[in-house]
Structures are given as structure tokens and as C-alpha cells.
Amino acid sequence: MKLLQNMNENQQKAILKTQGAVMVIAGAGSGKTRVLTNRIAYLIAEKNVLESNILAITFTNKAAKEMKERIYSLVGETSKYIWINTFHSMCVRILRQHIDLLGYNKNFTILDTSEQKTIIKNIVKELNLSEDSYQPNNILKIISNSKNSMISVNEMKAQARFGFMKNVAEIYEYYQKYLKKNSVLDFDDLMLKTIVLFEKHPEVLAIYQNKFEYIHVDEYQDTNVIQYKLIKMLSEVHKNICVVGDDDQSIYSWRGACSDNIINFEKDYEDVEVIFLDQNYRSNSTILDAANAVIKNNTDRKDKALWSENKGGDKITVYSAANDKDETDDIAKKILDLKAQGIDYKDIAILYRANYLSRSMENSCMAFGIPYKLIGSLKFLQRQEIRDLLAYMNVIVNRNDEFSLRRIINVPKRGIGASSMAKIDNYAEQYGLSLFEALKNIDMIGVSKKIITNIHLLTQLIEKYSQTEQYSIEDLIVGIYKDSGYESMLKESADAYAESRIENISELVSSAKQFSSMNDNLIDFISEMSLTSDADDENEDDSVVLSTVHAAKGLEYRVVFIMGLEENLFPSIRDAESSEDERNKMEEERRLAYVAITRAKEKLFMSYANRRMQFGSIKNNKRSRFLDEVPNKLMHFESGFGATANDSGESQLESVTKFISRLSPKIKIADKPKTDVRTNYVVGDIVVHKKFGEGKVLSIEKDSVKVDFEKVGPKILLIEYANLTRKE
């Protein structure tokens, strides 16, 4: 059978076992996507299962797209009837059909993070709370965790009767009321409202339980409480469920993922078939041996080890840098060498534990002329002009979306200042109207003729394009762009970036054309745009990828650099509340290291800095325990101190010292004399620096001093090299 060709024994087993509950433990690079797609194709071609009765859930749009393309190549045109979705896009599809039962408009719009922050900020002001104490990022994190743990507003209010959390509960309540009034949902609501819909309307749940005879879930180890519940509810009737995951790649506990879901799967379903995919098709054996050696130190896992027929491979290069600049400069030099050897920039990734580490790496890339792409930078869909046009589209499909309407009401400029806006809001409140209805009555509000004319043009535009069936999506975007005055605004703008913004809008139109070839529904297009994430971006340009390890999960590269491998940085287990919590966090950090290592196909470089500027002071760092867990025989050591390290991890100086000591115990190698770094100044003293001139001592650490210089501002200097003199 063609669908089983070139499959190993366990892969075949995972494809053929179609009835009941199946758990596929798929190690990194073990071909799980191919197994999933061939399994679905097998159900259609050999088991005569209707395409519309199959559900496949992934975690990213990119993964969903890849799966759709692969299944299309196997079964053809009918594959479009299979539900291949992320959790969020699946819930959007269901809610578009039934959310009116919960009192929402079916044409609801979806908020992005920046819009959420603005709403929270406004609520904090309205409640007269401190903006410093109730920062939008922190509040949204609490609300998101509450929703993903299925804690309602009333439950939070009952649990938090005083203090900070009492106020957060009140913000949560105001926030949810605002969303409902405007018929908008945030990302977390998409899943939560689906659960609420299923619980309040079991007849709706029954439709989807009967529909989905076969359910597939990718990356099951990343599911949270609410995702687990959704899957459990949907699979209740047919119980044909196949989950694919790897407990060794569970790295999202901080956003609610519950690794116990994969551990407990066998308890949740009867007669579970567990199949291990442990043959790796991505990396060479050196890289895999390193990954296995690290992860085996975790205890809370299913025992397994990845293996590959691709034997050998270069040793892993470990670089001991003098400082963070030395580390990133060395990476840049090595990248130029790799480029000279014929490896494209886009086949190289630099991974780090914390986002802030990218700054130094970016500086080195720019200094050495290396093009790079930063995952997590301002994405296309977050750019102002794109958000503006999407806001116009949101209002066209959902006039209750007050947030989007407020965004565009004076974009382009229509002369509506704070006082005019206050009049409009007062009128709406007085007569119990929505903001759009108030704008329809602009003649009655007592604003200038200019504003009346401009608002009439705006409402007419919205009503004109509300007849969405008369326009293709690209024609509608172009129409809004021209009729709203946005085009004229950009073309007449003195803004240096105006040309670039016009190009971005052109790209949006291209995206709409591409989407229209498969689906000409405006609401679906807006949903697709709203659900796009960083991980979905293709690296089409020849650029080195800079990314956190978290963001790189699921990706692979010919060459990978893992930087910042230092204790307290990677691993990072800050804020552990107990020894048990510390153990759990350390195990997750080790899983993160495992994910990082297994992104590499051919070459792996690892590095750490002995000294690093962190949070305003210079830290002396110890290399990460994860490096110590990799056998020395797999590594080649280099050093930024002028002496190249040998493969046992010792510098040449260390080796020579040991050798001489063995020859003659009487011979002693004198230690490097310690520099006296005692200071003759204290905090508050005025000191003089040869280059920076006079300054005031702000603080003194163990090996550094912070001085506020008159000419150049605050500087942190190593005491050893500062040569400061106190001004008498």
C-alpha cells in the first residue's frame, strides 16, 4: 500500500490502528506530521470515511497549512472538507454558527493584544486605580490564566474579597461586559465561549460529537485545561481519538499547558494503544546522543531514546566566551564561515532562553553585515496601516465593534477632537444608542458642519461596503483605502515611511487575493488575519533566524547556535515557591534545552559567557549544568581567552598546569595575582574618569561601580579597570 511505503514498523502501526484511543509518543524529528497525514488519508482511501467526519487539530496555522497541503497531495480536492484547524480557528468556525445563542453577534470580531491592552488601560482609568500597580500586561496575564483555567468573573470575585485581586476581579468584570456589549472576543474567549456554548446547549454539542467520528490532536503535551476539556467533550460519542505528542517537549506550563494530559491519557480512555516513534529523521547521531544525554536526567517522563540511521556528524562546538560581546561576535564570525562553505543564512538559527539576549546578537549581526530575521518583532499584521484597514473591515461586518470604530473615526483626520467625541458619547449614552447609531444622528449632536459632513461620509462608506456579497475581498479593501481618504493621506504625507506603508497595504491586497482563490468570505478573511501568529511566518528571505527556544519549537535548521548557556539564565528557575516547584521548573528547563538541541539537523554550536551584563550590572556566570550533562566525547571546546580548549573541556593552560604538577609535586604554578579592587570612594562621592570626566557614584557592587557622569550620563564600570579617582 502506497500510504505505508517507506514507513518504519511503528509508523505503520500508528496509521493502521484507527479504532479506539491511540497515543503516539513522537520524538523530535520522528516524522509525526507524515504519520498523521497518511493516517487521515488511509481513513478516507481505505476505510471510506467521509472527509467531513474527520477533525485534525494543530497548534499553529503553519502546521495546519502544511497538513492541508500534504493531505491534498494524497487524496486530492475532497480534502477541503476535512476540518484541519488550530484550536482557535476550530472554535471560530463553531461560534460563527451558534454564538447568537449566547447573545453575541455571529459577525463578532477578534481583539489582538494591543487592543486588549488599550481596553484594560481605559478600565483602570475609569475605576480610578493606579496605572503603575495595574499594568495592562499583568492584568491580561491574570485574566488569560483565569479563562484557560475556566475561572469565571464570579468565581474570581468570590475568591478575592479584598486588596489587589479584588480590584483585578472588578477589572475582569468590566472587561467582559465591554467585550459582550461590542460583540468582540479575545483569543481566550474563543475556546471558553465554545465550552459555555456546549454546556448551555447540549444539542449543539451533539451536532459536533456525531459529526467528528475520528479526532486527531497534534502536540498533545501542549494542551491546557480548557483544550483538554474540549477534546474530551467532542470525542465522547465515537471515542476514536488519536493524540500525538512528546512529554519531553512539554515547555509551555507558564501559559497553562498541562503535561499531565499526555501522562494521564491512558487513564482518560479505555484500552489505549501506546505507540512510540523513536527513530529520528532530522538530526545526526551526535546531536541526538547529546539530546538523549540531557533529557535522561529528568525523572517525570516516559523512558525512551531517539536514534538515527544518520551516524556520526561533527562534534558539537562549545565556546567559552570572555563576555557577552565576545560570545555574539564569535557566533557572527562562525556564521560568515558557514556562508563561505555554501550554507544559506536562512538555514541557520540562533536560539536563546530570554528575549533580551537578542539585542547583543543583533548588534553583532549588524556589525558583521549579516542579514537576520527576529522572531517576535513587529509583524506585518501589527503595523498601524494594516490594523487601521482591518478595523474598517471589522466595523463593516460588526457595527457594534465600538473599539474598531473609535480607532478609525478620525483616521484619516476628520476634525474630531476630544470635545466633539465627548458630545457624541454623551448623546449615545443619553438615548441608549450604540456609537454607530449616534454617528448616524450626527446632525442632532451640535458639532461643526465639517465634522457633520465627514461623519456622513464615514457612515455612508460603512453602509456601502456592508453589502459585502457585492465585492471581492481585495476590491473591498481597495475601495475602503480610496473612499476613506486613507490613500490620499499617505500619498500627501511627508512621513518618510509613507511609501513603505503603501507597499504594506498592497501586500494586504495580495493576501486577500490569495485567500479569495479558496474562500471569498470577508468574515473568514478577517478571522484568518486575526489568528495569524509569529510562528506562521515563513523565512523566505536569506536571513539568519534569531529566536527564543519557545518560538522555535516545531522548526528545524541545518545549523543551530544555542547561546547564553549559563546557570540562572538557561536554566532559569526564578521564583520557585518550593523544592517540588523547583524540581518541576528544572525539569521543564531541561525539556527546553532538549527542544533547542533537537532543532539542529547537521551542526550544533553552544556557547556561554563568563561575564555578562544583566539588569544593569556585570555578572560572573557559571556554565550551564546542561553542558555538563552532555558527554565530553561529543564536544569540541573553544575559548575566548586566547587559549583554545581541548576536547575534555580544559583550556591549554589548565592542561599544562596539571601536566607539570604530575611531573613534579614540588613545582608550583603561581596563581595569577589577584587585583586589589578596593575602592577609596563611597556612594555619593564625586569621582573623575580619564575618558568620561566627572561623575557621581550611584552604587557599588562586588566588582562594578555605577557612576552618573555629567557629560555621558550613567555608566557601569568594572572596578578593576575603572581607574577612578575621588575628587576632594
Q: Above 60 in pLDDT, residue 441?
A: yes
Q: Which value, to the nearest 10 degrees, does the dihedral of the CA atoms of residues 366, 371, 373, 377 take? A: 40
Confidence of residue 644 (pLDDT cuts 50, 70, 90): low
Q: Known catalytic residue: 78?
A: no
> What are the backbone dihedrals phi and psi of residue 242, each rounded to the nearest 5 degrees, phi first?
-120, 115
SS3 assignment for 657-716: HHHHHHHCCCCCCCCCCCCCCCCCCCCCCEEEECCCEEEEEEEECCCEEEEEECCCEEEE
Q: Above 50 in pLDDT, residue 676?
A: no
Q: Known catalytic residue: 194?
A: no
CA-nearest of 543, 540, 562 to 552 is: 562
**For residue 672, what pLDDT is reported?**
38
Confidence of residue 658 (pLDDT cuts 50, 70, 90): very low
Q: Above 60 in pLDDT, residue 48?
A: yes
**For residue 590, what pLDDT is reported?**
96
Question: What span, in angstroms and rounded, lies between the C-alpha atoms of 23 and 579?
Answer: 31
pLDDT tens-digit map of 337-396: 999 999 999 999 999 998 778 878 988 998 899 999 887 544 566 678 888 999 999 999
**For residue 617, what pLDDT is reported?**
61
From the candidates 33, 176, 614, 679, which is the catalytic residue?
33
**For residue 664, what pLDDT is reported?**
41
Average pLDDT over residues 285-314: 91
Cell (9 digits) for 509: 491586497
Contacts of 213 (CB under 8 A, 6+ apart): 49, 53, 54, 238, 240
From the candidates 186, 218, 324, 330, which is the catalytic residue?
218
Q: Known catalytic residue: 255?
A: no
Q: Known catalytic residue: 337?
A: no
From the candidates 186, 189, 213, 219, which is the catalytic residue?
219
Q: Known catalytic residue: 249?
A: yes
Name the average pLDDT for the chain. Answer: 86
Cell (9 digits) for 674: 589577584
Let me know: does 98 contact 197? Beta carbons within 8 Å. yes
Cell (9 digits) for 471: 465585492
Let me know: does 724 contact 687? Beta carbons within 8 Å. yes
pLDDT tens-digit map of 206-227: 999 999 999 999 999 889 889 9
**Eight-class DSSP state of 469:** G
From the candidates 32, 68, 334, 373, which is the catalytic residue?
32
pTM of the model: 0.72
| Cβ atoms within 10 Å, residue 515 | 18
From the candidates 11, 37, 249, 286, which is the catalytic residue?
249
From the candidates 325, 353, 399, 599, which is the catalytic residue?
599
CA-nearest of 105, 94, 104, 107 to 204 is: 94
Average pLDDT over residues 487-502: 79
Could you report how far apart the first and last alpha carbons of the chain are, in Å?
A: 90
Q: Known catalytic residue: 599?
A: yes
Of the two residues 652 and 144, the one the predictor is more confident about is 144
